[in-house]
Amino acid sequence: MTTVAAVDVGGTAIKYGLLRGDVLEPEPEIPTPLRGPDTAEEVVDVVAQALADLRRRSDFEAVGLVVPGYVDAERGVAIRSENLGWRDVPFRDQLAERVGLPVAFGHDVRAGALAEARLGAARGLRDVLVVPIGTGIAAGLVIDGRLHERPGPFGEIGHLDAGHERRCVCGRTGCLEAIASAAAISRAYVEQTGHPATAAEVAARVGEGDPAASLIWQEAVEALAATLAPCITLLAPGAVVIGGGLARAGDLLLRPLRRALERHTPVEVELRPAALGTHAGCTGAGLLALDLLRAAEPA
């Protein structure tokens, strides 16, 4: 069985571990170096060190590394991350030089989508759209079993115009994630009622008939359906997998979203909650490393 190392660099923590066959063995998380002029260099240092320690305990043949922001997976370069403050960092080659192994490089959300399609909620389906909804909203697409991977800023469906007046963290007004992310739902609830509540708590209050919670939830669901409907109609994926914090609301989210989608598009689609949780990105990083090894094998 092929074993690879997998690394998922997040805004606050670096997740890593070994992927043996289909199973991720996660190591304790490492805090992501604070944002500064040398963040990217420090990330490479910390990751190289962790992998060297790991290698003393267990052998592996390749490394998969995924990061947030805009990435050019083909060239192995992180083009930009607003959260981590880096630009044009050739992570793949830098890490490969440090660990002396082949390194596959990719995008955290898209790697997570690949993992859900191959090993998680959409295992065995040909085409899958994966939509993590947490602080932000993004999307990853697997078509014909292959990850749709292009250079530059794409998949960022959270910044599509959803036709409302609320301000987004990106500085624009009307973005989908300013009305439908877990963060936006929580913020709207405290603004309208004076009572702080997480998105999960707002979801629970919808079930209890809380009118403010219901309106906020309905607006979020409607905005999500309007954004997903064109993609579903164009692609007819086997399933849409909803992940991130908001997916924990389960049927409180999926049931109204299903109904809204029926109104929005003539194409039927199955909605499923994500199965791999916060390890999806790291598992996907491992899958990218496995794919890299397979592509290098003689045919």
Contact footprint for a second copy (CB under 8 A):
127, 129, 139, 141, 143, 148, 150, 152-157, 159-161, 163, 226-231, 233-236, 263-267
Amino acid occupying residue 140: G
Which neighbouring-strand residues pair with 143? Answer: 146
Q: How far is the CB of 163 from a second copy (least distance, A)?
A: 8
> Directed axis angle between helix 108-118 and helix 280-296, to 10°?
80
Q: Which is nearer to a second copy, 4 or 269 (CB)?
A: 269
Q: How far is the CB of 252 from a second copy (least distance, A)?
A: 23
Which neighbouring-strand residues pair with 9? Answer: 14
Q: Which is nearer to a second copy, 19 or 241 (CB)?
A: 241
**Rounded distance, CA 253 to CA 241, Å?**
12
Q: Which is nearer to a second copy, 81 or 186 (CB)?
A: 81
Q: How far is the CB of 171 from a second copy (least distance, A)?
A: 12
Is residue 115 classed as helix, strand or coil in its secondary structure?
helix
**Rounded distance, CA 247 to CA 21, Å?**
27
Q: Which is nearer to a second copy, 138 or 289 (CB)?
A: 138
Q: How far is the CB of 174 from a second copy (least distance, A)?
A: 9
Q: Are 242 and 276 in contact (CB under 8 A)?
A: no
Task: Please enumerate, as own/partner, the contacts of 203-209 that have beta carbons within 8 Å and a separation of 24 or more.
Answer: 203/249, 203/252, 203/253, 204/252, 206/252, 207/252
Q: Which is nearer to a second copy, 55 or 164 (CB)?
A: 164
Q: How far is the CB of 267 from a second copy (least distance, A)?
A: 5
